[in-house]
Amino acid sequence: MTARRAMLDVLKGEPVFPPPLWMMRQAGRYLPEYRATRKKAGSFLDLCYNPDFAVEVTLQPIRRFGFDASILFSDILVVPHALGRDLRFEEGRGPLMTPMSAADIDRLDGSNFHQHLAPVYATVRRLRAELPQETTLIGFCGAPWTLATYMIAGHGTPDQAPARLFAFRHPEAMERLLAVLVDYSAQYLIRQIEAGADVVQIFDSWAGILDEATFEALCVKPVAEIVRRVHATHPGVPVIAFPRAAGSRYSTYRAKTGVTGLGLDWTVPLAQARELQAGGAVQGNLDPLRLVAGGRALSEGVGAILDALGAGPLIFNLGHGITPDAPIEHVEAMIRQVRSYTGR
Amino acid sequence: MTARRAMLDVLKGEPVFPPPLWMMRQAGRYLPEYRATRKKAGSFLDLCYNPDFAVEVTLQPIRRFGFDASILFSDILVVPHALGRDLRFEEGRGPLMTPMSAADIDRLDGSNFHQHLAPVYATVRRLRAELPQETTLIGFCGAPWTLATYMIAGHGTPDQAPARLFAFRHPEAMERLLAVLVDYSAQYLIRQIEAGADVVQIFDSWAGILDEATFEALCVKPVAEIVRRVHATHPGVPVIAFPRAAGSRYSTYRAKTGVTGLGLDWTVPLAQARELQAGGAVQGNLDPLRLVAGGRALSEGVGAILDALGAGPLIFNLGHGITPDAPIEHVEAMIRQVRSYTGR
């Protein structure tokens, strides 16, 4: 039970030595066993919606590295998919959807939502049964704003101009869209918790691209409402949010959303991260490219985080997902270094 | 002389009502007269290196809108070009260079640097002669780190992974590259000042992508050295730097680099911007998509900036370059709103 308690202890604000450790996108292409299962599964969505495959790839990094936490293998876009939007993944192009107009918002159809996502809930149940007792199981969803960026543009863009412009031109339509996404995302997280998730994480990958007023309206407000609803049903379950690139806005984001843990991207200076620990656990924030480079770039990066944040409530993680070109030996070196940290 | 003094007064830390106003990329594709000249010129580089064309497009937004400042029309990549790296622009793909290896650094050749850039200096001289006396003339260069990202990758990328990885793998080579770029960039700015630029601006578009240690080494240190060299020769000339997406690091960046004015991207909250004004002038920071949207999105965005920052030393600007789809009527509406601000 030690390690499982450890991550939950940290999320209560209590430092643990060594800090619990996992990696965003730890079930991924840098692992040969993942690539083998991916090949067998066919499409990326087949991997997400088939519990046999999804359980297998979720467990792979736990078997290999013994991470303290396991995150459900899925994709944030299954939520709009379950609301009737089309979705496909093309090799090298990422997710593709039909771009959405303001008129499409009233056509979102949640009548089949939980049936559509039944394989995800089955995956969570099987994971909780198959994972070692000491491994924390993390469920997740995308934040409403980040989902909206893909739904409106129909694909990833470097600066989410289509969704930002939509919000400026049609503020009421954007509010309606976010309200639908808040509602279903909260239900989705609650079902994952009821299927066995110990913690849930909300990924807001595009939080950092907004100006002050839109950050407040499109990121802070919807996430605060999801947290409120999850905690109304399951008050003891920690919610981590990751408002990537929120910069100087991380502290007001934490205060206003009421999240338990705060995911930090790699650009957050460590003095700021230490201040954020005063409000509760932080999770992060190694530049994933230090893991690719290895050597001194890796050991100095890991060391700086442990030195600055190890004495407080820290979940060691990358500041973004691991990249396919990260060598496995470097992951092993990072784990050894984190596990050798015993406080000071 | 009023408006010219106004921008220089603001850069001394003195508020001016209404605040001086210009737009990043104000000579650009949103203007029909720019598109006409661009067509005549041939390639984008022909536009940069031909003083007739470069002067013409620089003057166009001044004639049309009477902005308080005019920025030399050129491109940040003329500096690596003048050091012997190849450079071309392809329609819809942006700049393309041959990707650079560590071994190429010692082959950078500055023996022809100032001859190569003579058309730029000629453009600056002609601009100062042809601009209205009350218009401030801004020269500029790219920051060494941002130049390095293009030189190493050979093209723009969404996250500058090639240059970040290069810095982690070859820190000494990166330091050597930045030292060369610091040296020539400082010379380049000094020559622009001697040709008639009143102010110079350093664009560090990719500052925000780095972690704490690399931000310090690759952004802060090189820019501080450029500022030191420019001020050693021309102590009275203001230097503005724009470390885009620097988030919570703007204040230490200002303190450590010694820049006179600080360009703020649109994600900087206005309370933070107001704190930054205590250290001197700030420039920014309207989301350029508010200019595309117009209407309430525009007037509320402009109003919020004026309310929060108008009483301090402010150069009103966008938080990034104007986009080609921005309607001219919206630019006019923004100018009217800024010019009607008389303090409070």
Question: Hey, are the CB atoms on B297 and A171 less than 8 Å from each other?
Answer: yes
Give whole-number Cα distances, B257 to B106, B164, B317, in Å.
Answer: 27, 21, 22
Q: Are strands B69-71 and B136-142 parallel, antiparallel or unpaired?
A: parallel
Number of A:B CB contacts under 8 A? 108
The answer to whether residue B19 neighbours chain A at the CB level (below 8 Å) is: no
Residue A124 is predicted with a pLDDT of: 98
Domain A2-339, second-level architecture: Alpha-Beta Barrel (3.20)
- Cα dihedral B296, B299, B302, B304 sign: negative
Give yes or no for residue A5 having a pLDDT over 80: no
| CA nearest neighbour of B217 among B255, B159, B167, B169 | B167
Catalytic residues of B: 25, 29, 38, 75, 150
pLDDT tens track for A286-301: 999 999 999 999 999 9
> Percentage of chain A with pLDDT > 90?
95
The ipTM estimated for the assembled molecules is 0.94
Prior bond of B18 cis (ω within 30°): yes
pLDDT tens track for A22-43: 999 999 999 999 999 999 998 9
| Contacts of residue A49, Cβ cutoff 8 Å, sequence gap at least 6 | A78, A119, A120
The answer to whether residue B81 neighbours chain A at the CB level (below 8 Å) is: no
| Contacts of residue B336, Cβ cutoff 8 Å, sequence gap at least 6 | none
Residue A1 is predicted with a pLDDT of: 42
Chain B environment of A304 (Cβ under 8 Å): 212-213
Question: Hey, are the CB atoms on B248 and A269 less than 8 Å from each other?
Answer: yes
| Contacts of residue B11, Cβ cutoff 8 Å, sequence gap at least 6 | B199, B238, B240, B260, B261, B280, B281, B313, B315
> Percentage of chain B with pLDDT > 70?
99
Task: Tell me if residue A290 falls in helix, strand or coil.
Answer: helix
Contact between B326 and B30 under an 8 Å Cβ cutoff? The reply is yes
Question: Hey, are the CB atoms on A213 and B300 less than 8 Å from each other?
Answer: yes
pLDDT tens track for B154-165: 999 999 999 999
pLDDT tens track for B295-331: 999 999 999 999 999 999 999 999 999 999 999 999 9
Catalytic residues of A: 25, 29, 38, 75, 150
Chain A environment of B323 (Cβ under 8 Å): 161
Adjacent-strand bridge partners of A202: A141, A241
Residue B289 is predicted with a pLDDT of: 98
pLDDT tens track for A115-126: 999 999 999 999
Q: Are strands A88-90 and A94-96 parallel, antiparallel or unpaired?
A: antiparallel
Distance from CA of B247 to the nearest CA of A (A): 4
Q: Which residue has the higher pLDDT, A132 or A2?
A: A132
Measured from the Cβ of residue A271, the count of other Cβ atoms closer than 10 Å reads 12
Task: Tell me if residue A128 falls in helix, strand or coil.
Answer: helix
| Contacts of residue A257, Cβ cutoff 8 Å, sequence gap at least 6 | A220, A223, A224, A227, A241
Distance from CA of A276 to the nearest CA of B (A): 13
In which band, very low, low, confident or very high, does the pLDDT at B1 lie, cut at 50, 70 and 90?
very low
pLDDT tens track for B133-148: 999 999 999 999 999 9
- Mean pLDDT confidence for B24-32: 97
Residue A344 is predicted with a pLDDT of: 63
- DSSP class of residue A218 equals I
Residue numbers of A between 233 and 262 with CB closer than 8 Å to B = 245-250
Give yes or no for residue A17 having a pLDDT over 60: yes
Question: Hey, are the CB atoms on A211 and B297 less than 8 Å from each other?
Answer: no
Residue B91 is predicted with a pLDDT of: 82
| CA nearest neighbour of A200 among A318, A74, A287, A288 | A74
Measured from the Cβ of residue A21, the count of other Cβ atoms closer than 10 Å reads 23
To probe the interface with A, which of B157, B204, B206, B287 has the most A CB atoms within 10 Å?
A: B287
Chain B residue with Cα closest to A286: B211
pLDDT tens track for B232-290: 999 999 999 999 999 999 999 999 999 999 999 999 999 999 999 999 999 999 999 99
Chain A environment of B295 (Cβ under 8 Å): 169
Residue B299 is predicted with a pLDDT of: 98
Give yes or no for residue B40 having a pLDDT over 80: yes
Q: Are strands B69-71 and A136-142 parallel, antiparallel or unpaired?
A: unpaired
Distance from CA of B215 to the nearest CA of A (A): 9
Give yes or no for residue A4 having a pLDDT over 80: no
- Tokens standing for B139? 């020269």
Measured from the Cβ of residue B129, the count of other Cβ atoms closer than 10 Å reads 9
Contact between B128 and B190 under an 8 Å Cβ cutoff? The reply is no
Contact between B124 and B72 under an 8 Å Cβ cutoff? The reply is yes
pLDDT tens track for A133-146: 999 999 999 999 99
Give yes or no for residue B76 having a pLDDT over 80: yes
What's the rounded Cα separation, in Å, for the pair B306 and B18? 9
> Percentage of chain A with pLDDT > 70?
99
- Tokens standing for B162? 């090639």
- Cα dihedral B164, B169, B171, B175 sign: negative
Residue A2 is predicted with a pLDDT of: 47
What's the rounded Cα separation, in Å, for the pair B242 and B198? 17
Distance from CA of A196 to the nearest CA of B (A): 35
Give whole-number Cα distances, B332 to B62, B130, B257, B303, B322, in Å.
Answer: 13, 23, 35, 15, 13
The answer to whether residue A32 neighbours chain B at the CB level (below 8 Å) is: no
Strands (DSSP E) contained in A196-296 are 199-204, 239-243, 261-263, 282-286
HSE-up (13 A, CA, CB side) for residue A287:
30
* Of the partner residues A171, A208, A250, the one whose CB lies closest to the CB of residue B267: A208
Strands (DSSP E) contained in A63-110 are 69-71, 88-90, 94-96
Residue B93 is predicted with a pLDDT of: 84
Distance from CA of B16 to the nearest CA of A (A): 24
Helix axes A270-277, A295-309, angle to 10 degrees: 30
The answer to whether residue A268 neighbours chain B at the CB level (below 8 Å) is: yes
Phi-psi category of B284—alpha, beta or left, where left has phi over 0 and alpha has psi -120 to 50? left
Give yes or no for residue B2 having a pLDDT over 80: no
Chain A environment of B168 (Cβ under 8 Å): 287, 289-290, 292-293, 297
Distance from CA of A293 to the nearest CA of B (A): 6
* Of the partner residues B169, B285, B319, the one whose CB lies closest to the CB of residue A293: B169
Give yes or no for residue B341 having a pLDDT over 50: yes
The answer to whether residue B111 neighbours chain A at the CB level (below 8 Å) is: no
pLDDT tens track for A53-104: 999 999 999 999 999 999 999 999 999 999 999 999 988 888 999 999 999 9
Residue B11 is predicted with a pLDDT of: 97
Strands (DSSP E) contained in A133-230 are 136-142, 199-204
Task: Tell me if residue B237 falls in helix, strand or coil.
Answer: coil
Contact between B4 and B136 under an 8 Å Cβ cutoff? The reply is yes
Question: Hey, are the CB atoms on B289 and A168 less than 8 Å from each other?
Answer: yes
- Tokens standing for B326? 């921005």
Question: Hey, are the CB atoms on B212 and A169 less than 8 Å from each other?
Answer: no
- Mean pLDDT confidence for B120-139: 97
In chain B, domain spans: 2-339
Percent helix, strand and coil across chain A, each to the nearest 5: 55, 10, 35
Question: Hey, are the CB atoms on A301 and B209 less than 8 Å from each other?
Answer: no
Question: Hey, are the CB atoms on B287 and A164 less than 8 Å from each other?
Answer: yes
What totals of helices (H) and strands (E) does chain A contain, helices first? 17, 9
In which band, very low, low, confident or very high, does the pLDDT at B96 lie, cut at 50, 70 and 90?
very high
Chain B environment of A275 (Cβ under 8 Å): none
Contact between A231 and A213 under an 8 Å Cβ cutoff? The reply is no
Chain B residue with Cα closest to A301: B213
Chain A environment of B214 (Cβ under 8 Å): 287
Alpha helix locations (H) across chain B?
2-11, 32-41, 44-49, 51-65, 78-82, 113-116, 118-130, 144-153, 161-169, 171-195, 212-214, 221-233, 250-257, 270-277, 288-293, 295-309, 328-339
Give yes or no for residue B294 having a pLDDT over 80: yes
